[in-house]
Amino acid sequence: MTRCLILSWEYPPIVEGGLSRHVRKLSEGLVLQDVDVHVLTRGDERMPAEEEREGVIVHRVREPRRPRDLGEFVTWVEHMNADMLAAGVELGDRFAFDVVHGHDWLVAVAGDHLANRFRCPLVTTIHATEYGRHQGWVETHPQSYIHGVERWMANRAERVITCSHYMRAHVSDIYDLEESRISVIPNGIDPLDLQPVDDLAALRRRFAAPDQRLVLLVGRLVYEKGFQLALEALPGVIERLGDVRYLVAGSGTHEAELRGQADELGLHEHGTFLGWIGDDVLHSLYRIADLCVVPSIYEPFGLVALEAMASGCPCIVADTGGLREVVPNEDVGLRFRSRDPDSLAQMVERVLTDDGLRNRLVAEASEHVLRFDWTEIAERTAAIYSRLGRAAV
């Protein structure tokens, strides 16, 4: 049996983004592939230092106090890595690990040291890059530091995993890494996880009347997610179609600017900024919305689009990055020109005014999402562990 140590800066019940959900589902899937899975992550005093969850042994180090200043974040990450390294060394005295698998730059230093100490291969999954998040502007601190760590991490690992073919080419290009060292394994989705609240009709009434159409925007409110483009497109859509409402679900550093933009565009009375919401409410919003829009400027994969499609909500996405692989054709969803509010508006109007199109997209997407199955994703990841283990012998 292969025994792996997975490092992640977040794991349920700590959920700050899609990474936590990804690592949990992957870990649980690997257990079903007869892999002995240990996850090393952070936690607080309310969480057990060690527990078994769905067959996964979770080890938590007490997280250092989170700084509010972005400039201090790198120091916080270094502290967390030191704590993870110390905990990992103790785990190595108890267990013989065959592979170390780190997720993103946040755990790169600890992952490197532990793989060296255990004399085993290092796998790293790069979910996104600092270069992509900041449109290539990585000359100043802390972006320059993070970009440097990511470059070193990618070249240090025996195997790099990315979530899309777009990301494989992107990582290969910016880190000068041979594509043959990079495996593409998409993110997964389990439609059974997308459980809504009980009274969807009441939730719908909170945000839209029966004769109004409801457009949903979901995600971290940061520049690269492109919500500013969707807001710019909405006034024209509302003028031409009449009663269209919108919801913005999420929080982030760009939130105040987006709220100000909505006010300037006269959108305040046409929609709602919900802020951060829990999964049960989010899954319900997909089911009451008439359309989900994913307007990202930079998008390694596009999990929101996948969740929307799995929930029966038609979806339009920017024609960029991994979104082209999540929405590969007009059978399952529509794509608009990236960074183009006019193109976005045209696609919104097309879906909202064509019931036949909307019904077809929903029907085809429900089959399409089955391609992103966690069992297959775990199988492919376990196969990488096995190949690296054989190569190390």
Q: What is the mean pLDDT of each run of 10 residues along the chain (393 residues)?
A: 96 89 97 98 95 98 82 90 97 97 98 98 97 94 95 98 97 96 96 88 94 96 96 98 95 95 96 91 96 97 96 97 96 97 98 97 96 97 92 61
Residues 184 and 211 in one domain: no
Q: How many domains does the chain have?
A: 2
Strand order in the sheet with 56-62: 50-53, 56-62, 36-43, 3-7, 99-103, 122-126, 159-162, 182-184
Q: What is the pLDDT of residue 275?
A: 93
Residues 86 and 129 in one domain: yes
The dihedral of CA 365, 366, 367, 372: what is its sign?
positive
Residues 183 and 296 in one domain: no
Residues 216 and 333 in one domain: yes
Residues 183 and 274 in one domain: no
Give the distance between the most distant pair of CA atoms in the chain: 67
Residues 145 and 96 in one domain: yes
Residues 156 and 90 in one domain: yes
Q: What is the pTM of this model?
A: 0.94
* Domain residue limits at 106: 3-188+373-392
Q: What do you get for the CA distance between the two ends of the chain, in Å? A: 15
Residues 206 and 302 in one domain: yes
Q: What is the pLDDT of residue 84?
A: 97
Residues 102 and 133 in one domain: yes
Residues 26 and 78 in one domain: yes
Report the CATH number that the domain containing residue 378 is assigned in CATH. Answer: 3.40.50.2000
Q: What is the pLDDT of residue 251?
A: 92
Residues 51 and 154 in one domain: yes
